[in-house]
Every structure is written in structure tokens, then in C-alpha cells.
Amino acid sequence: MKRSEIEQLTDELIGEAVLSLLVDNSPINTQALISRLRSMESGESNSQRRDLITGIINEISNAPVRNNTRNESSKWDDDNVHSLFGSSQMRGQRKNH
């Protein structure tokens, strides 16, 4: 298989696993995804697809875990509201409407 075909099939297999989790109303997280991929792997008759699922499971399992702590800043922490009319209008106590 070409690299692009492998990437396409990888995306499809992950998508199939996630979709089945959604249909079952299961939680969407790494452990649930790995578990669903393992069940897909055990039921797969095509050896090429089964080997690819094994590789996907290994890649997900060995990926570094990302922990968001309160000390880390994210792009969502920044102020996203900006005055269009300058700060002088906002400081007054009178109502403008």
C-alpha cells in the first residue's frame, strides 16, 4: 500500500472507532478509543487492516499524555473582548442607551 493509502485507511479506522463510540453513547477518551480499536482488531479478518489497527493502537498508547494544569496558559485564557470605541466610553458611569 502507498503511504497516502495507509494514511487514508488509518483515518477511516480511527473515524470508525470514534463513530461507534458516539453511537453507543460511550465516553470519548483515549482509553475508550484504544479499547474500541482492540475490539475492532480482534474481529478483523483482513490481516493488513488488523496490522494497521495494531499500529494505530501502539501509536496512540505511546503518545505523550498532555496534561493541562492551571499554571499553563492557553489561548483561551486571554481576554477576547476588545472595545470598538476605545476605553474612554467604557469608563463613564452614565448609560448610553
89: three-class secondary structure by DSSP: helix
Quick: pLDDT tens for 28-48.
Answer: 999 999 999 999 999 999 999
CATH code given to domain 3-62? 1.20.5.5260
What per-residue confidence (pLDDT) applies to 64?
82
What per-residue confidence (pLDDT) applies to 3?
82
Phi-psi region of 70 (alpha: psi -120 to 50; beta: other; left: phi over 0): alpha
Q: Per-domain residue ranges for the chain?
A: 3-62
Give the separation between CA 35 and CA 57, rounded to whole angstroms.
Answer: 9
- How sure is the predictor about 70, in pLDDT bands with cuts at 50, 70 and 90? low
Q: And the C-alpha cell for 24? A: 453507543
What per-residue confidence (pLDDT) applies to 62?
92
- Residue type at position 5: E
What per-residue confidence (pLDDT) applies to 12?
96
Give the separation between CA 65 and CA 96, rounded to whole angstroms.
Answer: 50
